[in-house]
């Protein structure tokens, strides 16, 4: 039995991701556009992707002045659903992070990241005080 409703297409536009800023820190944003070169394309579940596909990310305005509001990135530069995870990346001193501490998600700042032992030293800011930038 058909209901006459069309299924929505799966779109990556609007997906929340993190992308590197000019200072090497990762900042949150939203995928605004996907640009696939007209040459070689591979059909991946009805989505044409190539190794050279670029994603335009619009950075959140509340993060201060990044020097730009949006920029293009390759898949390997993005962190988020459908892209790479934070595992295996080296975080930069001063990077804003969110961690679970005493059962609550709190804001912190990376003081040091020892990639050889995969240990991150974080300064946790007291709850109720938003000093992360």
Summarize pLDDT for 3-60 with one digit per residue, the tens. 555 545 567 889 999 998 888 888 889 999 998 876 544 554 455 556 788 999 998 8
Given its phi and psi angles, is residue 13 left (phi above 0), alpha (psi -120 to 50 degrees) or beta?
Answer: beta
Which residues, 6 or more positions from 117, have their beta carbon under 8 angstroms from its beta carbon?
Answer: none
In a domain, 43, yes or no: yes
Strands 104-114 and 96-101: antiparallel
In a domain, 5, yes or no: no
pLDDT band at 87 (very low <50, low <70, confident <90, very high): confident
Which residues, 6 or more positions from 85, have their beta carbon under 8 angstroms from its beta carbon?
Answer: 79
What are 2's two structure tokens? 């058909």
Do residue 70 and residue 123 come from a single domain? no
**Calpha distance 116→74 (Å, rounded):** 26
Mean pLDDT computed over 89-106: 87
Summary mean pLDDT of the chain: 79
pLDDT band at 99 (very low <50, low <70, confident <90, very high): confident
In a domain, 2, yes or no: no
Mean pLDDT computed over 118-126: 87
Specify the number of domains making up the chain. 2
**Confidence (pLDDT) at 73:** 93
Identify the domain containing residue 63 by its residue range: 11-83
Do residue 65 and residue 125 come from a single domain? no
């Amino acid at each position: 039995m058909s209901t006459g409703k069309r299924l929505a297409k799966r779109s990556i536009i609007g997906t929340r991701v993190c992308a590197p800023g000019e200072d090497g820190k990762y900042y949150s944003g939203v995928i605004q556009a996907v640009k696939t070169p007209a040459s070689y394309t591979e059909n991946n579940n009805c989505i044409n992707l190539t190794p050279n596909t670029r994603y335009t990310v619009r950075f959140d305005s509340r993060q201060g002045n990044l020097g730009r509001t949006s920029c293009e990135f390759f898949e390997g530069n993005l962190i988020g659903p459908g892209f790479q995870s934070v595992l295996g990346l080296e975080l930069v001193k001063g990077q804003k992070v969110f961690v679970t501490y005493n059962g609550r998600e709190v804001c912190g700042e990376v003081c040091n990241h020892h990639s050889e032992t995969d240990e991150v030293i974080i300064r946790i800011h007291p709850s109720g005080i938003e000093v992360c930038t």
